[in-house]
Amino acid sequence: MEYFLQQLINGITLGSIYGLIAIGYTMVYGIIGMINFAHGEIFMIGSFIALTAFLALAALGITFLPLVLLIILIVAMVFTALWGWSIERVAYRPLRGSFRLAPLITAIGMSIFLQNFVQVTQGARVKPLPPQVTGGITLIDQGGTVVQISYMQLIIIATTTVLMIGFSFLISRTSLGRQQRACEQDQKMASLLGVNVDRTISLTFVMGACLAAVAGLMYLLYYGVIDFYIGFLAGVKAFTAAVLGGIGSLPGAMLGGLAIGLIETFWSGYFSVEYKDVAAFSILVIVLIFMPSGLLGRPEVEKV
């Protein structure tokens, strides 16, 4: 039972990171109906920007951890948002009226470009970071078995919960959220009603990139090691989470992220770690067979 609880905590933590990345996928798809396959690389760039900011602040002698984390979070979100905005302008906006495959191919090309750009500029070796947030809370300690939730895990889960609630409120209750929902339903009609479609789509990419930056920082702090390839692996898992939860649904993206994280963690804990990805994708296939729209997705109605 204790081992199960520990794996549950680990799975929720990993799923929270996947969920943050998956929200970026589902927000873009919800508005323009296309998958931003460069979003995983935006997450990776956010991690590298956070690591660079860590090193810069250490060189300046700033060591007060709460202040350091706040500065790094702001810096990572700002620069990663610029990358997200650039991808929308370069890879999507010029091809918005083209056939649907064109921006998909461009996004894949942008993903490959970003991977190689970071590999050339930062090197192919892994980049370590010493643990910054240590310690934790012991939940169970009996018979030599310890169940503990670390402070870093608490930060990840709390941050994900707050961001999920905040973005749900933004989408459902604010003017920007209404504009995003209007663009999701009909971009041409939204434009006729005074909505700036280009600005709304750009802001959606920026918001998704900011979430990816937060996920990148959390990943760096939690695992303490990054490389240029983490964006591809995390991006594939987050995309799987978005599809599993129901692409286009924010709660679905978070639910899918938690599901993928828990499947991977429990499979690694009780079975062979080499087949954890097989287990996650198998569950995706089974769910989509019986629920083609995902766990919380809505069937897409074709406009005629």
Give the integer Cα–Cα distance in Å for 153 and 10: 8
Highest mean pLDDT range out of 70-79, 102-111, 187-196? Answer: 70-79
Q: Structural domain of residue 75, as residue ranges?
A: 2-290
Q: Does residue 299 form part of some domain?
A: no
Contact between 258 and 15 (Cβ < 8 Å): yes
The closest alpha carbon to 145, from 8, 4, 1, 2, belongs to 2
Residue 222, both tokens:
């939690």
User: Is position 75 within any domain?
Assistant: yes
* Residue 82: inside a domain: yes
Instruction: Tell whether 80 is covered by a domain.
Output: yes
**Would the pLDDT of 302 be above 60?**
no
Give the predicted TM-score (pTM) of the model. Answer: 0.91
155: in domain: yes
Structure tokens of 111? 């993903």
Count up the domains in the chain and report the number.
Answer: 1
- Cα–Cα distance for residue pair 256/297, rounded to 1 Å: 11
Nearest to 14 by CA among 206, 238, 225: 238
Asked if residue 304 belongs to a domain, the reply is no
Cα→Cα distances 189→185, 196, 283, Å = 9, 11, 38
Which residue in the block uniquely carries the two structure tokens 């010029």? Answer: 94
Does 248 score more than 80 pLDDT? no
The one-letter amino acid code at 177 reads G
Instruction: For 251-299, write each residue's pLDDT tens digit.
Output: 888 999 999 999 999 998 888 888 888 888 888 888 888 888 888 876 6
**Residue of 26, 40, 23, 21 lying closest to 165 (CA atoms):** 23
